Structure 1
Amino acid sequence: MLEGIIIKGIGGFYYVKTGEGIYECRARGVFREDKITPLIGDNVLIRISEEDNTGYIEKIMERKSQLMRPPVANVTQAIIVMSIKKPDINYWLLDRFIVMAEHQNLNIGICINKIDLSLEDEIQQIDKIYGKTEYPIVKTSTKSGEGIEDLKKILKKNVTVFAGPSGVGKSSLLNRMHPGLELKIGDVSKKTTRGKHTTRHVELIDMDSQSFVLDTPGFSSLNLDFIESEEDLGRYFREIFDYSHKCKFINCLHHKEPNCEVKRQVEKGSISKERYENYLQFLGEIKNTRRF
C-alpha cells in the first residue's frame, strides 16, 4: 500500500498525493458504516487497482487536528486574510475567524491584503487594534509584491488554512506565491462591494515540499454554536483572557460585573475598544442562542 495525503475531494472521489504521483481514489465502504468521512488533509494508506490505476483508501491515520468549517484535517495554522479596501476591512468578521481558529487551537496569523489601496493611518489603526494580541500581522500587495516573501516564510513547514471572506484576494495571493497555480480570481461586486464566490471546493495546494495551503470557499458569516458556554468566549480573545485572572469573580463575563479588570484595561487602552465591543456582541449572541 502507498502512503499519501488527500488533497482534494469531489463527488465521492478523493485525490491522494503520494510519492509516486496523484491517484483518484474511493473510500472503502467500512468508513461509511463507521460514519467516518475522509477529509482533505488526511494522511491515508491506499491500495492501487492494477486494472485502471485508481485506488481505494484503506486506512485513515490519526488526525492531529480537525476543522468543522471548512471540513479539513491536520491543519497546523490559520492565516486569516482580510483586504483593507475593496472590500473594506471588517473587524467584526476578522474577530469571528480568530475565535474559530482559537477554538481549534491553531496558530494564527493575520494577513492584511491590498495595502497598495490604503492610507498610512489605516495601517496604523490595524496595528493599534491587533498589536496587543501578539498575532503576527503581515501586510501584502499582489500588485507591488510587498509582504509576499514574509507570507511565504510564515507558510513554511505548515499546513495552513487560508480563511477569510470572498474578494479579499486569497487566490491572488496564492497565485503570486506560486505562479503555476493559476487559481481563478473573482471580481468584487460593485453593488455589494463583496467578493464573488470563485473557490467551489476545498483543496490542499502543494506550495513546495514543506508547505501546504488550503484555499477554502469564502464565508459571509460564522455561527458561534461551537462555543459551549458564555464563560468560554473570553478564552478566544487572548488579551481579554490574559487580564481575566485579575477580575474579582472567577466566572466574570467582563460585561456588567463590578471590579472587572478587563473593563479597566479597556479604559486604559491595553485592550482595544473595537475588540472588546466585538466580544460583547458575540457574548450577546451566545446568550440568545442558549436561551432557546
Structure 2
Amino acid sequence: MMQNRNEKCWCGSGQKYKKCHMEFDEKIKEYELKGHIVPDRYIIKTPMEIDKIKESAVVNTGVLDYVSQNIKAGMSTEDIDKLVYKYTTENGAIPAPLNYEGFPKSCCTSLNNEVCHGIPDENIILKDGDIINVDVSTIKDGYFSDASRMFIIGETTEEARKLVEVTKECLEIGIAQVKPWGHIGDIGAAIQEYAEERGYSVVTMFGGHGIGNEFHEEPFVSHVGRRDTGMLMVPGMVFTIEPMINTGRPQVYVDKKNGWTSYTMDGSLSAQWEHQILVTEDGCEIISF
C-alpha cells in the first residue's frame, strides 16, 4: 500500500517516504502490473528488523559451531540436543523448535535415510559411517534464525561422502541465484538441474521458507522448479535455502508414530544443508550457516 510521499517512510528510517522507499515500492508495483508475484510489505524486513534477525543468527551459527566441536561417535542424538539447548540459553536465546507445534526437542537430528525433522533420542547412538543433519533454529528478542549442517561421523562410504558434498554444492548453486528482481523459481531450477545431472533426486515435499518475524513465513522456497517463475526477490527479504537430496528416489514419508520424522521411501540416503539468506541491493548475504 502506497503512502503519502511526505510522510515518514514505513521502514522506520526516519526519512520522508519520497526519499526512501517510494521508488522501491513503485518498482514492485510495476512488476505486479506485469503479472509477477510480488512480496507483501510484511515479508520485506526493515533495517531494524534485519539487525535483530542478524543478532539471532549470530547465536544460531554459534550453536552449529558448538555442535561441530563436540559431535562424535558414541554420543546420542539426545546429547546433541542438550548441547543445542545449553549454548542457546546461555547466549540469551530460545531454541525455536522446542514445543513448536508439539515438537519435543530443541533441534532436529536426521540420520542416514531420515530426510528431516528427526527427533533427538537417548537411544539413538552415533557410530562410525553415519551421516547426520543437525538443524537448529533460534529465537532472540523475538526474532528468528535457522540453519543446518551435515556431519560425517568417522569414516563413511564413498556414496555417503559424495552425497554430502553434492548436497552442499546444491545449496551453493541455489544461493548463487539469489539477486534482487530475480525470481524464487530460479533457485529451485538451478538446484534440480545440478542434482539430477549428477544422478541424485530432490525432495519436493519440503522446502525453504521466509523467516525473521516468525519461524515460517512466505515465500515457500522450492528446490525444484522453472526459472523466471515464483515470487519476485527484492532487497529486505529473508528466507532459507535448504535442499534435501537423495541417492535414490525423491519420495518420502512421515513417521506415523511421532508425526514428525520423514524418511526416504526407498530407504536410500538423504542429506541436507541449510543457510539463511538476506536479499540485498546487489545480491545476497548469508546470515546464518
Structure 1 and Structure 2 fold alike (TM over 0.5): no
Whose Rg is larger? Answer: 1
TM-score range, shorter chain: under 0.3
TM-score (norm: length of structure 1):
0.25
Q: Determine which structure has greater relative contact order: mean sequence separation of CA pairs < 8 Å that are 6+ residues apart, divided by chain length.
A: 2
TM-score (norm: length of structure 2):
0.25
